[in-house]
Amino acid sequence: MHRPIIASLTALALLAGPTAAAGTGTPTSPSGAPTPTPIGDAIATAWLRMPESGHGCGDDLIFDYGVDGGMRTVFCRGLLVLSWKAVLAAAPSTPFLKGPHKGTTLDLQAARDFGRYDPAFVRWATRALVPAAKDGALRKRTQGVYDRQFQRLARVYFLVEKALSSSPPWVERERQRYLSLMDAKGGAWNELEITEPYHDTLGGEGANWGGHDPNHVRSATMWWLRRAHDGTRPIWSDGLQRLLQTYDGAWLAAQIDVRPVPLPDTSKAAQPVEYRDGP
């Protein structure tokens, strides 16, 4: 099972909130709050009723870590209160330009592939799925849900993206290494062995991994490398900052002058041939 695949999909859960109908932007009422829409009402209800345990992924989720879980766990919990197909029906385009997922069906068992996002979908999602940015009442009602269920992951993904931004050459080198090894024909794909150094993106064991769950840090590093590959990293980054500005503004402002630690040295890991994405 390739755990990081679902990370890109569960960004939707991380950014969850009432949405507008596809192609219409986010209509507002005279007060400036988003005007309710069928999908918007459904997602608002799901956001407010987001469970802290249980999931709708069947065998695709090996263990339910509840609110301590990563992006896959968040997504799988969200399926209990919101239909994935309903979200896709409201979007202006399908999520992926390429990858193992077909139509509304997600292939969560793909070991050597991942979805390449359609930028149009990401632009829509990162705007439409954070309506509390313009709706103070909604923000107050969902602040507790964010604090308990999403804050930890949102902060980790922001900090990892900031760390990667400090060294574009490292990002390009790791994009090549990670994706080449995934794409290699023959042999076993040992994801943990290949990506183990990414636990240290925000600090090593001696520094308690910067105070973060190293498994979340590793998953976030892989997720951003995939977004660097499909070209949607800047769009997702803007959307994540929008989410943090809405729910976690004081913390976000405090990160401006914080310098990331040096990125992990992967020189002792396998160094494959240059990665080339097929047609």
pLDDT band at 78 (very low <50, low <70, confident <90, very high): confident
Max mean pLDDT range (33-42, 55-64, 69-78): 69-78
Comparing 21-30, 37-46, 72-81, 167-176, which segment has the lowest mean pLDDT?
Answer: 21-30
Phi-psi map region of 135: left, alpha, beta (phi>0 left; psi -120 to 50 alpha): beta
Percent of the chain with pLDDT over 90: 42
Comparing 109-123, 178-192, 203-217, 239-253, which segment has the lowest mean pLDDT?
Answer: 178-192
> With 60 as the cut, is the pLDDT of residue 272 above it?
no
Please tell me the predicted confidence (pLDDT) of residue 189.
57
